[in-house]
Amino acid sequence: MISKPRSLAVAAGAIVLGGLGLAACTPTVRVQVEPITIYAKLDADVRLRLDEEVKALIQKNPNLF
């Protein structure tokens, strides 16, 4: 007959090995994301405002470029 401490150790070892086996088989989820293309139409007013903002930014930070 197997003694109680030894059977307890065997049971604990089996639980630990079973847990490691389950942890090793974790599923991997991979998601493929398609690129998004955005078409933007800028009118002259938006371009003019952006141009003025860029000029002001360059004047404030001449070492920017």
Beta-carbon contacts of residue 2 (< 8 Å; ≥ 6 apart): 10
Tell whether the model's pLDDT for residue 15 goes beyond 60. Answer: yes
**pTM of the complete model beyond 0.85:** no
**Domains identified in the chain, total number:** 1
pLDDT of residue 29: 81
pLDDT of residue 63: 81
Tell me the residue range of the domain where 14 lies: 4-30+37-60
Q: State the pLDDT confidence band at 48, using cuts at 50, 70 and 90.
A: confident
Residue 11 lies in a domain: yes
Residue 65 lies in a domain: no
b/e per residue 13-29 (b: at least 16 CB within 10 A): eeeeeeeeeeeeeeeee
